[in-house]
Structure 1
Amino acid sequence: MNNNLIKQADPKQAVIGVLIFLFPFLSLVTPFGIGLASFSLLIAALFFLKPGFAALRTHWTAIRWVVLLFGFNFLYTAACLVLRDQSIGDLEKPARMLFALSALMLVLAAKPDRKALWWGVIGGAFLGMLLVGYQRLVLGEERPGGLLNAITFGDIALSLGLIALAAMVDVRSVRKVFWPAIGALAGLAASTMTGTRGGWLGLVLCGLLFIQHSHVLNNRRVRAVVAFTFAFMAAMYFIPETGVKERVRQGVLDISSYFSGGSAFTNVGVRLELWKAAGILIEDAALLGRGEDGYREVLEPLVRKGELDPVVLEMPHFHNEAVQAMVTGGVIGLVAWFGMILAPFVFFTRAMSVRNASRQEFATALAGILLVTSYFGYGLTEVIFWSVKGAMFYALMVFLLMGFYLNAKEANHKPGPV
């Protein structure tokens, strides 16, 4: 990686590179960073509409399912506004996630340096670690989350760490590999200090991916840092001051207590009671669901009868992405959510299987598949898409990484010297 933040001959490319850098760099340490990035990239794309649409047409075969399924999520939500008495505000997230396509158009049309994204990820992870480290170690907060919800902060921090890990493939010298390694460790440390347990599920799934695509470890430096990273996470479990082991132990106790007839008002017990309630709701409205608020009318009488704990009425969502999609949108809603996970996963998986791929292609594809896999893992115990910031981080990063991968592929297969 070049030590210069942005090294572009074209001023337009330099400006776009700065916007891309600021997206991950500000995502954890400001309440507005992700929103500002989404609007900035959208506005910038307006200046590249003609070449942007031309680039989309050129790559349509490769990207069509990702674009169509993000579009389907938007259209189904819009249809639900007609079918049910829902707030127009429910359309904000799916609309903004679809408009994140502008980031893909911008990268394909302007071809900014992908190092802007790598440096933004590294810097964002490091600043995030400093922020929650200060809150945890100096202020004594048990569940620090910067200026975000602790779970959202921890999940995004872990995603930044994993993307930085993938960026290590895109470097050659020992000296330069140091920086993405620092970013990877910083993201993992920041996530650990938030006390977010759900992120560990995403990390486990990503670990399985590293095993499946073990050829990424052929580089001795990368293999050493990956091994150190997972050893670092294991160490966090056994160091009492991190609180990780205690939270795992508490989770086991919560499960035991719940199934023994104890209180549902624990971190894990709440989730189990919510999933029990969701089973009742899904059975009654399996096709179209009940919308974001309609299900409460069904839960209230069940709570009064004592069939469900009152805690189910106090939670804003069901702490599982698939369950949330089924309750609010039915089977069609589940397809809409899962499509936004599956389509990018297939895109990046195919990209990683291409023979004679350059390290630039492999790094961006690996970053993409780690992002999608980690988000799926988060969704097992949390609704990360409930947060506009969590949803927009995912959509913007998916489209940016797709764009940088396609640019790298085009450059690698271009005739003549590269």
Structure 2
Amino acid sequence: MNDLHHPQNALDLHQWRSKIDSVLGTLVTALILYVPFSIGALNPTAEVAAALAALISIILILSNIHKYTQAIPKPIKITMALFVIYFAIGAASYFIFPPAKNSLSNIGTSLHFALFTAIIMVMLKHPPKLTWVWLCIIGGAILSGLHTIYYGSRGAVNPILFGGISVFLAFASLISWSHFKSHKILRILPILAFILGLLASFNSLARGSWLAIPPLAMALMYYIYIHLDNKKRLIIPLTALSIVLAGTSFVGWGKIEPRVNLAVKEFQKYFAGESYQTSVGYRLETYKGALLVLKENPMYGVGVGHRAEAFANLKTRGLLRDLSMILNAHNQIFEDGIHKGLIGIASYLALMFYLLRHFYKQLHNSPIDAVGLMLIVGFGTFGLTNITFTHGTFNTFFIAMVAIALLSNTTTSGLTLDNRLAESPDHNA
């Protein structure tokens, strides 16, 4: 017993604890970086990695609360609060309204936003190296593209989610070009990732992901513009992007054109009163139902999991056509409005606009902030035609990327890649 209290033994024990903490903290960061790398082609391993990261984070925080709750930057604190509020509003509806069949599962899906708090606190003390962040983003886009080409598939997850994730990773990869531009070989990777990420999106046949291409392209061009000393030179990256987009679209045109033409026809049929039982028709009818539900239940909605009942009630009153086969509102604002009313919509818009404003204001500081801006622009666009925060896969990807992007000011690269590569024979050749 006396040996345990010996100063040297106590010091050794402290050092061992510190090493274990460091190893586990680094593991949490590695697991979160694995999410963008693997979620399109290797899922469910990405979701398992995120769950494991959350579990380890909770254990680390409980074992050393003082360390992990100190010196948390204000933007991260605000984001943590907004995420917890968003989750809490949904969870509260379980106690306000009678539980429905899918209430708990729907609430459980948004648990990611509460677990984000533990993950970001640990990653803040163990930030990732910038080079590894870029390689995981680039690797994710490349893997997604290769997966659809080799297997002829629409992705390893729901095709709609896969298309959205792939197109985001494609544009995010281009931001990394400045990090690798000094190396003759590695600077090709961002361009390759962009092309393969776009192809993955086209092969997914997810039209909602294609809608995100214009706003993501504008975000990219704006980031490039503010970092150009000679603003007139914007024409160079703009032309290059247009050529690559046109070329990639040409390759995938055989899949793009039929889907676009079909959407136009379905839109026309719905408003002509011919048929609503199409992909576009169901969405438009669902939006109508969502507005009717909000009109009748503006403040709190009808409760999480009660959408089907609310739509059935509207149908019996002759206000809505049959939507019994529809599983969600196909729009994130309407989904939150149906389940949580204007309070739910406000909580969604608050977290999205706060993050949008934060990343926009930080664009001059770090390229990772541009990735964060693209993430919010992309998810905001995806949410117009699909739900984003009621899918476990989308939530896993979203919180992982928000955590990575918020750490931009603490992300380190050790010895910078450029310095190391400047000494390499390849660079000096």
Q: Could you tell me which residue of structure 2 aligns to residue 120 of structure 1?
A: 136
Write the distance in 1 (CA, Å) between the matches of 2:29 and 2:78: 27
Q: Could you tell me which residue of structure 2 aligns to residue 69 of structure 1?
A: 82
Write the distance in 1 (CA, Å) between the matches of 2:294 and 2:104: 24
Q: Could you tell me which residue of structure 2 aligns to residue 325 of structure 1?
A: 336
| Equivalent residue in structure 1 for 2:310, among 295, 298, 310 | 298
Q: Could you tell me which residue of structure 1 aligns to residue 163 of structure 2?
A: 154
The answer to whether structure 1 residue 193 and structure 2 residue 215 are counterparts is no
Pairs within 5 Å for 1:5-404 = 15-16=27-28, 18-46=30-58, 48-49=60-61, 54=67, 57-86=70-99, 87-136=103-152, 144-175=153-184, 176-213=186-223, 214-216=225-227, 227-238=239-250, 241-304=253-316, 307-310=319-322, 312-353=323-364, 357=365, 362-404=366-408
The AA in structure 2 aligned to 1:291 is G
Write the distance in 2 (CA, Å) between the matches of 1:383 and 1:280: 18
Distance apart, 1:227 and its partner CA: 4.4
What is the CA deviation profile of residues 203-250 of structure 1, one whole-angstrom value per residue up to 9, with x for unaligned ones?
211222234432245699998666444433334445575321222222
Q: Equivalent residue of 2:409, what SS?
A: helix
Percent identity between matched residues is 21
Write the distance in 1 (CA, Å) between the matches of 2:234 and 2:190: 10
The AA in structure 2 aligned to 1:345 is L
1:76–1:133 distance in 2 versus 1, CA, 3 Å: same
Write the distance in 2 (CA, Å) between the matches of 1:219 and 1:121: 29
Write the distance in 2 (CA, Å) between the matches of 1:335 and 1:212: 28
Q: Could you tell me which residue of structure 2 aligns to residue 416 of structure 1?
A: none
Write the distance in 2 (CA, Å) between the matches of 1:168 and 1:31: 27
Distance apart, 1:276 and its partner CA: 1.1
Q: Could you tell me which residue of structure 2 aligns to residue 141 of structure 1?
A: none
1:97–1:169 distance in 2 versus 1, CA, 3 Å: farther
The AA in structure 2 aligned to 1:254 is E
Q: Equivalent residue of 1:373, what SS?
A: helix
1:187–1:308 distance in 2 versus 1, CA, 3 Å: same
Q: Is the 8 A contact 1:303 1:309 kept in 2?
A: yes
Q: Could you tell me which residue of structure 1 aligns to residue 3 of structure 2?
A: none
Distance apart, 1:85 and its partner CA: 2.2
Write the distance in 2 (CA, Å) between the matches of 1:162 and 1:240: 17
Q: What RMSD, in angstroms, separates the aligned Cα atoms of the two structures?
A: 3.0
Larger Rg: 2
Write the distance in 1 (CA, Å) between the matches of 2:411 and 2:335: 36
Q: Is the 8 A contact 1:17 1:116 kept in 2?
A: no
Aligned length: 388
Q: Is the 8 A contact 1:286 1:331 kept in 2?
A: yes
Distance apart, 1:57 and its partner CA: 4.0
Q: When the two structures are superposed, what TM-score results if normalisation uses the length of structure 2?
A: 0.81
Write the distance in 1 (CA, Å) between the matches of 2:368 and 2:358: 11
Distance apart, 1:301 and its partner CA: 4.3
Write the distance in 2 (CA, Å) between the matches of 1:348 and 1:408: 18
The AA in structure 1 aligned to 2:179 is D
Q: When the two structures are superposed, what TM-score results if normalisation uses the length of structure 1?
A: 0.83
1:364–1:240 distance in 2 versus 1, CA, 3 Å: closer
What is the CA deviation profile of residues 136-194 of structure 1, one whole-angstrom value per residue up to 9, with x for unaligned ones?
3xxxxxxx432211101111111211221222233341523211222222211111111
Once the two structures are overlaid, the 10-residue window that deviates more, 58-67 or 115-124, is 58-67
Q: Is the 8 A contact 1:378 1:384 kept in 2?
A: yes
Q: Equivalent residue of 1:380, what SS?
A: helix
The answer to whether structure 1 residue 405 and structure 2 residue 409 are counterparts is yes
What is the CA deviation profile of residues 83-115 of structure 1, one whole-angstrom value per residue up to 9, with x for unaligned ones?
012333333223222212333223220233132
Q: Could you tell me which residue of structure 1 aligns to residue 423 of structure 2?
A: none
Write the distance in 2 (CA, Å) between the matches of 1:52 and 1:120: 30
The AA in structure 1 aligned to 2:119 is A
Q: Is the 8 A contact 1:289 1:331 kept in 2?
A: yes
1:219–1:170 distance in 2 versus 1, CA, 3 Å: farther
1:84–1:12 distance in 2 versus 1, CA, 3 Å: closer
Write the distance in 1 (CA, Å) between the matches of 2:227 and 2:211: 21
Distance apart, 1:305 and its partner CA: 5.6
Write the distance in 2 (CA, Å) between the matches of 1:351 and 1:217: 16
- Unpaired runs of 5+ residues, structure 1, are 1-9, 137-143, 413-418
